Structure formats: C-alpha cells, structure tokens
Chain A
Amino acid sequence: MGLKEKLHNIKGKVEGTNWQTMFGAVHTLFYSPNETTHSGGHLRGADDLKRTMMNVVLPLIPLFIFGMFNVGFQHNAAINGFPEGMGFFSPEFWNLDNLSIGAIKLLPLLVVSYVVGLGIEIFFATINKHEVEEGYFVTGMLVPLIIPIDTPLWMLTVAIIFGVVIGKEIFGGTGMNILNPALTIRAFLFFAYPTWMSGDKVWVAGAKERANEIMAGAELDAISGETILGALAQGQDFAYSVSDMFLGFIPGSVGETSTLLILLGGLYLIYTKVASWRIIVSSVIGALVMGLIFNGVVNAGWINEGSKFYILMSTEFWHHLLIGGLAFGIVFMATDPVTASQTNKGKWIYGFLIGFISVMIRVFNPAYPEGVMLAILLMNVFSPTIDHYVVQGNVKRRLKRLKAKTA
C-alpha cells in the first residue's frame, strides 16, 4: 500500500474528529486533495492559495540565506573592521564562519516563528472547524527577516501570539485581517520593547551583549550596531559605499539589507503575477517623489545645515530605496493582497502613499527612523477607504447612466 492510499485511509478515519484539521494540513502538504467541482463551472485553474503563497516564500529564501551570512559578516566586521572593496562574491562575506554565526542566531528565530504561529493557526482552525489556511506560511518567513537579530525568543513568542491572535484570528483568519500580520508582530515588538528594537545596539549580532559586558567592567571594544538610517537620524554620516548598500553588506534587519536580492525577488513576484506590479511601481514612485521634494527643499535653500532634518533631507532621493527596509517593505509587505487596496486604481493610490509617507516619516521622525512599517500599517487601515471611493466611482457611473436614460 502506497503513501497515497495510507493517507487516504487515515483521512477517512479522522473525519469528524478534532484531528481532521491538523491531519488535513499535513495531508494536503503531501497531496493536493482529490476534491472535484460540485457547483458552477466544472473546471478550475491550476493555482491555489498554497501555490500562490509558496511563490511568495521562494524569493524570500535567497534573502534568508544572504541574511545568515550577513549576520555573521556584520558581527565580524564590527570587531575586525570593514573589509575594503567588497564585491558580491567576496570570500570575506561568503564563508563558513559568517554562516555559522548567522545560522545559530537566525534559525531559532525561524523555528520559533513557524512553531508558535502555525500552532496558533492550527488551534484556531480546529476550534473553528475549517482548514488551516496558508497565510502564515508567508508571515512565518517574513518575521525573522524584519526583526533585529538579537531579539530574545520569548519576546518574539509574545509578539507572534499578539500579532496572529489580535492581528488576524479575531477578524476571522487569513483573508479577513485588516493589518499585515508580520508588521503587526513587528509593531508590537517595536512599541512594547523599544530598547530592543531601535537604537545603536541592536542591529549587529552581539552588540548589546558586548555593551552589557563593557558596562560590567570588561575591557573590550564596543561594537557599534547602528543602521545607516539610525546614523543619519542622529545627524552623523556613514561610511558605506553605494555598492555596499545595494549589495547588502550593511547592518539592519536580516532581510532588508540586500537591495539587489529584493529587486530580483520583486521582479520574480511581478513576473509570476503573484504580487501586484501596480503597488510595487507606485510605491517606488511615491518614495522617489518624496525624496525629490526633500532634495528640492534643500537645493532651494529653504532649510539650513543647522536643522536636525538637514542630513536626512539632503540624502540623495534614490538612496532611500537602498537603505533601511523600504525596498523590502514595498516588495514583500505592501503587496499583501489582503491588506492592500483591492481595486486596480486603488492600488496605485495605496502604493504611492506608502512610498511617500515612508520617506516622510524617515525624515521627520528620527525616533522611528524606519518609516516603512508605520506607513504600510497606516495605509492598511486606509486601503478600504481608498477602495470605497474607487468603487463609488463605478456606482456613480452606473447611476449617471440611468439618469441620462430617464432625463
């Protein structure tokens, strides 16, 4: 008896019991179901939600791997100094030492993310008697990529419970949530444990630990764990080249650093038609427009060097896409179809405002140097409003047609 028959027999046995949901989740992982159409059309297209979600996770995997190396690389660079003339394939980056440091740090975050998140999903699916939905498949992968590497596992656990339960399940699960679950988790961490989530000690593995040891009297060099945005917000300049920023050899959340890989991921999502190109393109335009406005303000001399906004405002407009989490947020978070605008017109407005507001928050609110999280969450809240007005346009057109007829 093959695996197929065995699983089929178990399926019959667990039907109607509490194990049905959990078994179903495992079963459909191995075999797509033997379900046939029973209402409406007799054929269905090849894509299901599992396939769609898998195609979002795929481009995240190179980022995850790159992130593991970068965690180790940043740690070593902070101790030993940043190597000169890094190319994308430099052996200073792609070595086992970097990988092992990164893997030890990052894999537990991934495991906790999936175990806790999926656990909650299965729990809710079981009590609500529906199938386990695939939304967390992507969320679980995103979470370790958008948090500081030294985030304690218990903190992550608490945040995931909050994010999944309050952010998603109380609305009815995948497809019903208002806020992007991964960002809800990050926002919870950000506001509940601010000292762990921002500042100059959290973005490089071991920086905080080292700082504590120094406080305790150990004779060690401090590790600076600051991101470029953090430095800029403090009014300091930074020492990374554009190439370093584009390739991703900079400190930051695990997944956000390599603009190159994010760009490739974005192209993959657009090419496979899984993500909306409208959102991605309009977000990029929004960010560039805001950047240009700030550059224009600086060039026009309306703001002097003494201003605390001067450095961030004078950052070249297109650099905003290379630093911080903007690119990552645009490609992987803003495009979440559930929380984005659902109409094509709405997507243009929604995306544009995300880019626009992200850069605005960056510049004007140094306490939150990463504006993209808040910008996306804000636009998540507003996306139904945007859709409402777009749909009302359609409704009005219909009423007008009627009026023209009766007049």
Chain B
Amino acid sequence: MSQDIRIKKGLDIKLKGAAEKVTEKANSSSVYTLKPEDFHSIIPKLSKKVGEKVKAGEAVFYNKANEEMKFPSPVSGELVDIIRGEKRKILAVKIQADNEQQFVDFGVKDPKGMQADEIKNHLLASGCWSFIKQRPYDVVANPANTPKAIFVSAYASAPLAADYDYVLAGKEKELQAAVTALSKLTSGSVHVSVGKSSNSPLSGLNNITLHKVSGPHPSGNVGTQIAKIDPVNKGETVWTVTPQDLVIIGELFLTGKFNAERIIALAGSRVEAPKYYKTKIGASIASIVDGKLKGDNNRIISGDVLTGTTKKIKENLGYYNNILTVIPEGDDYEFFGWTMPVFNKLSISRAITFSWLFPNKKYDLNTNTNGEHRAFVVTGNYEKVFPLDIYPMHILKACMYQDLDEMEALGMYEVAPEDFALTEFVCVSKQPHQEIIRKGLDLMLKEIG
C-alpha cells in the first residue's frame, strides 16, 4: 500500500543554473581523494602505506572503533600521499589512478538467496557499508544494529539538485539487487519515496514500500520522510541510503565489483553550461569544472547549496555527493543593505523585500550572509519552513546549552543537520543551525551512544 507524503511547510529556493539533462564524460581525474571527514565521527586507521598499490574496492582505511567497517578506494592505483593535520589527524588520502583499472573481485552473488549476516559481511568486506547511514546521529550505520526500517529518498527537492529520475534511468537491475539485499537487513520494510508525478526507475521495484512525495523542499529530505512515515523513537534505529549509492551496492551484487562511477550534476549560476557529467567518487574538482566556470570569485560546493561543503578547485568531489554547485561569493559590502528595497534576494517576509511578488523567479544568490550574527530574536519564522513535529528554536537552544535530557525529549533522535538547512536559511539572527545540531548530535553520541 502506498502511503503518500504531502507537506506544506517548506521553501523552494529557486536558483539560476539548473543542470541541463545531457550527460558528458568528465575529464578523467588522475588523482582521487578520500577524506575521512566525509564519514562523520569515524576515526580512521590506515590499512595502506604511501607507495602501496590498491585495487578499486580495496580498503584504504578502516574505522578504529570497528575494524570491519572499511573505506574503499574508488579506483585502482598507487597511494601517493597522506595529508595530515594537527595531532597527525588524517585529512586526506590521495590515490594516483592507473590507466588500466583493476577491481577486487568480491564475487557475483544473488541477494535473494542470502541470509542477513551474509549480506552484512559482504557489504562490510567490499566497503559498500559506508553508503549506509543511520539515524539517530546521522553517521555511518552501526552494523551491530537491526534497523526498524530503511529509507531511500529518490526525490530530490533541494535547490538545483540532480534529478534522480534522470541519473538513475536504466539502473533498475542494480537498484533491485540492492533493495533486495537491504530488505533482509531490517525488521521492517525498505521505504522508497519518489516524486508524485515522476516515472522513477525505483517505482517499479519489488520488496519496497513506495511513497509518493509532493510539496516544497524539504519534502525530498529523507529526514522529512522518516518523520512522516515512521519517526525514530528513543532506542530505535533507521538506516538511510541515497539512490545513487544503491546503484553501487547493486552493481557489487551483480558484478562483484566496487564501481565508484556516478553521474553528477554540475550546476549553479557560475557554470557556463550546467549539465551532467559521468565521473567517480573522489575525483578532483578540477577534472569536472576546468574551463567551465564564469569569473573567478566563486564558491565551489560539493553537494547542494544548503548542505554541501566548500571546496577549493584542487580538492575533490565528496564521497556522498552527486552535485557540484558553483555560485558567486558575496564578499562585498552593500550600501544601506538593511534599508534598501530588495528585489534580487529571497525572503519569507515582506519587510521591504519583494520576493513574494515573484514566486517563480529564479535567483542568482551569493554567499553573503545578508547581515550579522545575533542572538535569537524573531520567533515563528522557522516553523514556516520546518515540517517536522519538533520545536526548532527550542531544540537548537537545548543543543547550545547542552542539556542532554531536554535534547532527547525534544526529538534529537529524529533529526540530522540537513533538516535545519532551511531554518538556517531564513534565520534573521544568522545563527549556524546545522553546526549547532551537528555538535548536539556529537555530544549525544559521545555521552549516550
């Protein structure tokens, strides 16, 4: 039975520079990078040294707290550099790709005939476990748990997000294999959400509970869907996987290989001709964007504008990201910016801001904060863009004064930083909501576990 999700609270940030539905092959990147920081809360232990050879799918590092949890190389080649920060913390591992790619053969398997434990071990051994994340805490899933449900959102509502229907077209077999495997790991079902009027390749899958989603962003956020379908209670766990990672998991079962290839969107107002590119996890950003950007005072974001990370052109595509967004930096002053009528920026108020007059206008927004950081003053704004049954300001404040009981009572197990991306966007006091929630989750993870 399909349970549809319709939300009203939210905000679609319409930006210029959506990717055209054309896929090109990106220049092949010579160096691929894995960053432990992409896997929040994991302390990496290297399993390879500089100069050693790796195959695609071979572990480069593993989780110190759980050695079974491995993080695979996206390509075959030579480990050329390990970049360390303070206290010798590993910041990045660089792999020089071979011309001829070699894959570790994990063996072709049919998930239908496998037990839960076999599937788990297979995913752990191949490094594909890293694609499964869990709530609470929004970290890589703990394999010791059995989740009450697994959620996949195949509806991307974030600004300029890559269209899943487009990038997943023709991948039905891989998706089915992955979903069949995952469905054995949960005591409940695998919930897959697709856009209401989409012809998603996921809507025809077996072993899933399908949901049709409509409404403004964050309707496509997996957190919103969990809250509407089966919210996380204390002591419960749910897992989430993004659809493009399902393809990699599915390919593992069908071919025995860890194939890190994915189609990503290159979008944003500073991209000459936004479109889709075929590349691999960890590819250098230069290989994708070189010669394709306008101007030079840009911000390159691995991910979407609400949740992505800032990257320099020399850095790499993030592990979980399927979009690179390039928007102008906003490091300029604006004359009487606080009094002038505003036509070219987005606002949910009408305080001499006029975006409410043009609901379909596409904006060329930059990274300016449009004001200074202040204490929380205005109330009631967050609720307009926050569809969860949680009091956003109260939970943020609870995180700030680190009251664990209160954080728990107010619903901290249900949230991830990305759920607070829109409240952060509309925040008049310019508070860093996602950072506050991330720190709160980290504190809970440390104290409660």
Contacts and interface: CB of A to CB of B under 8 A. Distances in A.
Interface of A: 4, 7-8, 28-52, 54-55, 131, 133-135, 172-176, 271-274, 276, 278, 337-338, 340, 342-344, 347, 387, 391, 394-395, 397-399, 401-402, 405
B374 A49 contact: yes
B421 interface: yes
**Which residue, B377, B383, B433, has most C-beta atoms of chain A within 10 A?**
B377
**Which residue, A46, A338, A342, A344, has most C-beta atoms of chain B within 10 A?**
A46
B383 A344 contact: yes
B7 interface: no
A4 B333 contact: yes
**Leading 10 A-B pairs by shortest Cβ distance:** A48-B371, A32-B337, A175-B375, A40-B434, A50-B338, A31-B333, A46-B345, A46-B347, A402-B233, A55-B351
B348 interface: yes
B264 interface: no
A33 B299 contact: no
B371 A47 contact: yes
22 contacts: A8-B333, A32-B368, A32-B371, A36-B331, A37-B367, A40-B432, A42-B306, A43-B159, A43-B367, A44-B371, A44-B425, A45-B345, A47-B348, A48-B338, A52-B378, A174-B377, A175-B376, A273-B351, A342-B380, A394-B389, A394-B410, A395-B410
Contacts of A50: 338, 371
Contacts of A278: 380
A172 B375 CA distance: 9
Contact of A398 (B334, B374, B411): B411
Given A4-B335, A36-B330, A43 B435 contact: no
A273 B349 contact: yes
Contacts of B342: 46
Given A174-B374, A401-B231, A41 B434 contact: yes
B389 A347 contact: no
B348 A45 contact: yes
Contacts of A135: 377
B49 to A, nearest CB: 34
Contacts of A31: 333-337
A4 B379 CA distance: 33
A391 B421 contact: no
A144 to B, nearest CB: 22
Nearest to B233: A402
Contact of A133 (B350, B352, B365, B375): B375
Contacts of B435: 39-40
Contacts of B125: none
B393 interface: yes
Contacts of A391: 391, 394, 410
Contacts of A42: 299, 301, 305-306, 308, 310, 325, 327, 367
A30 B338 CA distance: 9
A49 B331 contact: no
Contacts of B409: 395, 398-399
A34 B346 CA distance: 18
A52 B374 CA distance: 12
Nearest to A398: B411
A274 B381 CA distance: 9
B367 A36 contact: yes
A31 B342 CA distance: 14
Nearest to A392: B409
Given A48-B371, A133-B374, A394-B391, A41 B425 contact: yes
